[in-house]
Amino acid sequence: MFNLKASVKKLKSQFELTKSGAIARRYFVIGAFDGALTILGVILGAYVAKVTVDPVLAEQLIVGAGVAGAVALAVSSAVGAYEAERVEHVLSHKHLEKAMLCAVEGTRKEAIGVSIFVSALAHGVAPLVAAFVPLIPFFFMPLDEAVVTGTIITLAFLFALGAYLGSLIKEMIVYTGLRFVIAGLATSIALILIGGH
């Protein structure tokens, strides 16, 4: 019979053994930052390049390319994280076995499998969710308003992401949040300048 309490306790011990919580958090932040900024890049690039030609086409291009980019980024991130974590854990496990002069099985090996899965899931889900942040306005607003709103929402999202990281290390959350926003603004300005030529 399935025992939820025992399963949660086992999962918690596996997370502690492999430090999966910290790894998943790191992958989630990286993935979310990538997802939001990449799709903001798609939006600004398509807008600057196509809006003067055909605003309707620009909006379709933004939504289509944004969704496709989000899915591709999610798959790429999940597979990349899975393979990277698998290799790192296998190397670490082999190093441990070499140091102990014997095979190590059981709980640790199970925990490694959980850690790999959780890392891949966090790194795959984060960019997919974050990628839709800048796209939301395009389902409700005209093109010009959607681009401005999407950019503002994305910068706010990046600020929240940075502020969250700052809160973890007891750093000034405004300072860390603004560092993320500056990265987003710099990227936006560069894309607008590139697209304008």
On the CB side of 135, how many CA atoms lie within 13 Å of its CA?
22
> Tokens in use for 135?
């796209």
pLDDT at residue 4, rounded to an integer: 67
> Tokens in use for 57?
């086409």
Ranked by mean pLDDT, the top range of 12-16, 91-95, 157-161 is: 157-161
**Which residues lie closer than 8 Å to 40 by C-beta, 6 or more apart?**
134, 150, 151, 154, 184, 187, 188
pLDDT of 36 over the 90 cut: yes
- Please give the model's pTM, rounded to 2 decimal places: 0.83
pLDDT at residue 74, rounded to an integer: 94
Percent of the chain with pLDDT over 90: 39
Mean predicted confidence (pLDDT) in 1-5? 65
pLDDT at residue 51, rounded to an integer: 61
pLDDT of 85 over the 60 cut: yes
**Band of residue 76 on the pLDDT scale cut at 50, 70, 90:** very high
DSSP 8-class letter at 105:
-
Which one is predicted more confidently, 98 or 164? 164
pLDDT at residue 141, rounded to an integer: 92
**Which residues lie closer than 8 Å to 14 by C-beta, 6 or more apart?**
20, 107, 110, 111, 114, 115
Q: Which of 127, 118, 125, 106 is nearest to 19 (CA)?
A: 118
Asked if 39 and 71 count as a contact pair (C-beta separation under 8 A), the reply is: no
pLDDT of 197 over the 60 cut: no
pLDDT at residue 1, rounded to an integer: 54
pLDDT of 58 over the 90 cut: no
pLDDT at residue 8, rounded to an integer: 64
DSSP state string for 25-90: HHHHHHHHHHHHHHHHHHHHHHHHHHTTT-HHHHHHHHHHHHHHHHHHHHHHHHHHHHHHHHHHHH
Compute the CA torsion angle 64, 65, 68, 73 (nearest 10 deg): -150
